[in-house]
Amino acid sequence: MAKKKVTPIAKLNAKQENLAPHTEEGVDQFLTTNQGLRINDNQNSLKAGERGATLLEDFILREKITHFDHERIPERIVHARGEAAHGFFQVYESMSKYTKAGFLQDPGKQTPVFVRFSTVAGSRGSTDLARDVRGFAVKFYTEEGNYDLVGNNMPVFFIQDAMKFPDFIHAVKPEPHNEIPQAASAHDTFWDFVSIAPESMHMIMWAMSDRAIPRSLRMMEGFGVHTFRFINAAGKSSFVKFHWKPLLGVHSVAWDEAQKISGKDPDFHRRDLWNAIESGAYPEWELGVQIVAEKDEHKFPFDLLDPTKLIPEEVVPVMRIGKMVLNRNPDNFFAETEQVAFHPGHIVPGIDFTNDPLLQGRLFSYTDTQLSRLGSPNFHEIPINRPIAPVHNNQRDGHMRQTINRGETAYEPNTISNGCPYQAKMKEGGFTSYEERIDAKKIRGRSSSFFDHFSQATLFYNSQSEVERTHIVNALRFELGKVTRTDIRERMVGILTQIDKSLALRVATGLGLPVPSKPETPINHIRPADGEVRRYEPKAVKQQVINSPALSMSNTVKNTVKSRQIAFLTADGVAGKEVAKMKADLLAAGAQVQLIAPHLGKIKTAEGDHLEVDQSFLGAASVLFDAVYVPGGKTSADALVKEPAALHFINEAYKHCKAIAVTGDGLKVLKATYLETEGNDPGLLINKSSKDFINAIAQHRFWEREAIDTIPA
């Protein structure tokens, strides 16, 4: 498909114009009460005498305190911690062959979007670097109404049926008796749940992989997870899976690094997204679709309705159909990021649901949760949630109603108002649900086509590089190591044997457990329902591919250093020319540079110039950077050799497999660390060109170093 270059627009898009009348700024204005009364004294309450009691009459104090008392709303029950940005989406070519959705027709049209990223388990104030799934929710403000693609950064989910969602979330959230641990799955209840829910194993592989600790929200994929439908103008339906492909590639941090970032900067991802947009390094994704003809529904060794399965890209290629660019930070976190309300049920003509039992449950949940979170059925009137398409209906009243509906009638059909507002025909954009034939008994049950719980977990594990597998093993050892009950650990080792025996063995070794010759059947822990034959026993089905390179992050895009953060370790006497050259070349390649020195303020170069320091060693940390450069300059190098924080910085960056470059006397500093300077490490560049350094940074990490790790950082 031809890729058109889309350039961000500086002027406000349709949604931003729609938000504009709701914005407020106090510049050059008087301070007022909420009634518009100008306030003369905002420092003191009204009292009976200077030392007397405060008077109940003080309506200004009362208004201020009352508003403050009610400033908080309930946080989201899941995905509480999040950050968002505005932008636009533009399709490359008309998708009319598959869908009549208006925003997917015209390559010349930009559709405003608001995108919220989130972690799932933690509270609003929890760390960004928790090992967790990331939410990736996109609201398209289309001319036909809002379309929400409420996805995650992993293409499958833990459970197959909405009925299990509250149980699953209760298991992963902090334990109910002591509210421990925050934003972590490494505890008994989570692993108890999954150890007897084999359907979760495919997603467990994803959650234990480095996908769960992204380097940046800008460097992760997004997935619609469920199979949806596209419907074209002729009424023909195809199945569709949605993907978001980041143009910067898919990259992660190391687990040790993630834990340290959580302490050094718990807002790491939020800050990274904000700064990237402020600096003009707009995050970009291509929207991908996997399309399956309706007639091919049953051609897969899994059920398209099963949300624990993906369609390997090698079986059905991902067609990249358009681009999304995030180019504006919100004006106000609460008004926009917190109050935005997503819902997979917000669809437009040309898109429809399938019977995926997880999706079906979600279609109920999202409006329902907004009622308690945002407090009223009028949450669609909150500016960020308002569509740019006009809204006319007979819904009325309720808490905080904003719209002043005019006219005598609030019902339809009517004669008094000439039948207005009236129904839209399909050709006028009226939505009709896809007419799917259903001829079945009403049952509470699950299709046997959902029972292959391990084949795709194995496919995922098979598709990982050696390093990625080791990270999965270590993640499982870490998580299960935090579980206090041995029977849960044992059950997990048993269930892992169903995915890959060597995986189970490696995890078991770390836990000091034997690998059971016959794993316990998790199903034994579910009391059968009345009349139920034991039907939940997993069964293996041969997959179409045994390896899917698209599932491995090691095969991702590695051709850019755009927006990567590079630390320059410097001190007085640094070689100014070397700093200037390296900095200019890195900036030209799109990277960002910070000068770190023993003190803030300015340092003097060997040439006698002064350079502004960005951070002192006290505030900086290697885990907040992608690469390190130590320039030459005798005095500077001598000072850094005596600076333990500088040596730790380099050791730690090395341990986390980052590119490190030194020039001139910078080598002295390197020699004072634990690093092996004589070896053949492609990520360690001694007196090499800036071009070589840039190429090394673009590789993201030199994970092979982990195998020979001798750095005690």
What residues are annotated to the active site? 79, 152
Nearest-approach distance from CB 120 to ligand HDE, in angstroms: 8
**DSSP category for residue 515:** P
Q: Should residue 207 be labelled a site residue for ligand HDE when binding is judged by CB under 6 A?
A: no
Does residue number 371 form part of the binding site for ligand HDE (CB under 6 A)?
A: no
In the numeric block, which tokens belong to residue 638?
Answer: 């001598």
Instruction: Tell which residue, 431, 432, 138, 100, has the closest CA to residue 238.
Output: 100
Q: Tell whether residue 362 is a contact of ligand HDE (CB under 6 A).
A: yes
> Could you tell me which stretch among 146-154, 186-194, 518-526, 598-606 binds ligand HDE (CB under 6 A)?
146-154
The DSSP secondary-structure symbol of 335 reads: I
Sheet strand arrangement including 615-616: 615-616, 592-597, 565-569, 627-630, 659-662, 684-686
If one asks whether residue 173 binds ligand HDE (CB under 6 A), the answer comes out as no
Give the C-alpha separation, 135 to 366, whole Å: 14
Which residue, 169 or 281, has its beta carbon nearer to ligand HDE? 169
Return d(Cα 635, Cα 640) in angstroms, integer.
9
Q: Is 82 in the site for ligand HDE (CB under 6 A)?
A: yes
User: Of residues 533-572, which lie at the interface with ligand HDE (CB under 6 A)?
Assistant: none
Binding mask of the shown chain, residues 469 to 508, with x at each position contacting ligand HDE by CB under 6 A: ----------------------------------------
Helix, strand, coil percentages (3-state) for the chain, rounded to 5, are 35, 15, 50
CB of 307 to ligand HDE, least distance (A): 6
Quote the Cα angle for 548-549-554, to 5°: 140
Q: Which of 135, 249, 576, 598 binds ligand HDE (CB under 6 A)?
A: 135
Amino acid residing at 192: D
148-156, 401-409, 502-510, 599-607 -> range binding ligand HDE (CB under 6 A)? 148-156
Q: Please classify residue 287 by burial: count the beta carbons closer than 10 Å to its beta carbon, then call 0-12 exposed, 13-18 middle and 19+ buried.
A: buried
Residue 264, C-beta contacts closer than 8 angstroms, at least 6 positions apart = 621, 623, 624
- Amino acid identity at 430: G
Any contact of residue 211 with ligand HDE (CB under 6 A)? no
Among 19, 138, 162, 672, binds ligand HDE (CB under 6 A): 162
Per CB under 6 A, 285 contacts ligand HDE? no
Region binding ligand HDE by CB under 6 A among candidate stretches 29-37, 73-81, 95-103, 385-393: 73-81
Judged by CB under 6 A, which of 274, 333, 366, 431 binds ligand HDE? 366
Smallest distance, ligand HDE to C-beta of residue 11, A: 27
∠ Cα 395 399 403 (to 5°):
50
For 548-559, b/e burial (b = at least 16 CB within 10 A) is bebbbbbebebe
Shortest Å, Cβ 365 to ligand HDE:
4
373 is in an annotated binding site: yes
User: Was 396 annotated as part of a binding site?
Assistant: no
Asked whether position 424 contacts ligand HDE by CB under 6 A, the answer is: no
Any known ligand binding at 218?
Answer: no
Helix (H) or strand (E) holding 565: strand 565-569
Q: 262, 130 in Cβ contact below 8 A?
A: yes
Q: Rule CB under 6 A: say whether 386 interacts with ligand HDE.
A: no
Q: Does 664 bind ligand HDE (CB under 6 A)?
A: no
Contacting ligand HDE (CB under 6 A), which of 19, 137, 194, 574? 137
**Strand positions, DSSP E, 204-349:** 222-223, 228-231, 237-246, 284-293, 319-328
Place of tokens 């209760």: 170
d(CA 564, CA 696): 12
Instruction: Give the binding range for ligand HDE (CB under 6 A) out of 54-62, 144-152, 444-452, 646-654.
Output: 144-152
Buried b / exposed e along 180-218 (16+ C-beta atoms within 10 A) = ebebbbbbebbbbbbbbbbbbbbbbbbbbbbbbbbbbbb
Stretch that binds ligand HDE, among 14-22, 150-158, 236-244, 375-383 (CB under 6 A): 150-158
Q: Which helix (H) or strand (E) holds 348?
A: none
Is residue 118 close enough to count as binding ligand HDE by CB under 6 A? yes
203 binds ligand HDE (CB under 6 A): no
Q: Judged by CB under 6 A, which of 102, 122, 151, 522 binds ligand HDE?
A: 151
Backbone angles phi, psi at 360, to 5 degrees: -60, -40
- Of 78 and 493, nearer to ligand HDE (C-beta) is 78
Question: Is residue 150 a contact residue for ligand HDE (CB under 6 A)?
Answer: yes
Is 116 annotated for ligand binding? yes
CA angle 401, 402, 407 (to 5 degrees): 90
Per the annotation, does 705 bind a ligand?
A: no
Q: Is 406 annotated as a binding residue?
A: no
Tell me if 375 contacts ligand HDE by CB under 6 A.
no
Considering beta carbons, is residue 167 or 704 the nearer one to ligand HDE?
A: 167
The CB-of-227 to ligand HDE minimum distance in angstroms stands at 11
Residues 6+ away with beta carbon under 8 Å from 241? 155, 223, 224, 227, 228, 289, 290, 292, 310, 311, 316
Distance CA 644, CA 649 (A): 8
User: Counting contacts by CB under 6 A, is residue 78 touching ligand HDE?
Assistant: yes
As measured in angstroms, the least distance from the Cβ of 541 to ligand HDE is: 22
Instruction: Give the footprint of ligand HDE on residues 618-647 (CB under 6 A).
Output: none
Q: Residue 363: exposed, middle, or buried by beta-carbon count in 10 A (0-12, 13-18, 19+)?
A: middle
Q: Among 200, 187, 133, which Cα is nearest to 496's? A: 200
Q: Verify binding: residue 165, ligand HDE, rule CB under 6 A.
A: yes
Q: Which residues face 682 on adjacent strands? A: none
Q: Which two tokens stand for residue 127?
A: 């760390």
CB of 438 to ligand HDE, least distance (A): 20
Are the C-beta atoms of residues 453 and 202 closer than 8 Å to each other? yes
DSSP code at position 25 = -
Q: Does 342 bind ligand HDE (CB under 6 A)?
A: yes
Q: Which is nearer to ligand HDE, 341 or 611 (CB)?
A: 341
| Pattern 292-321, ligand HDE, x by CB under 6 A | ---------------x--------------
**Judged by CB under 6 A, does residue 464 bind ligand HDE?**
no
Q: Which is nearer to ligand HDE, 341 or 627 (CB)?
A: 341
The annotated binding site is made up of 76, 116, 165, 362, 366, 373
- Binding site membership for heme: which residues? 76, 116, 165, 362, 366, 373
Residues of this chain that bind ligand HDE (CB under 6 A): 76-79, 82, 116, 118, 135, 137, 150-152, 157, 162, 165, 225, 307, 341-342, 358, 361-362, 365-366, 369-370
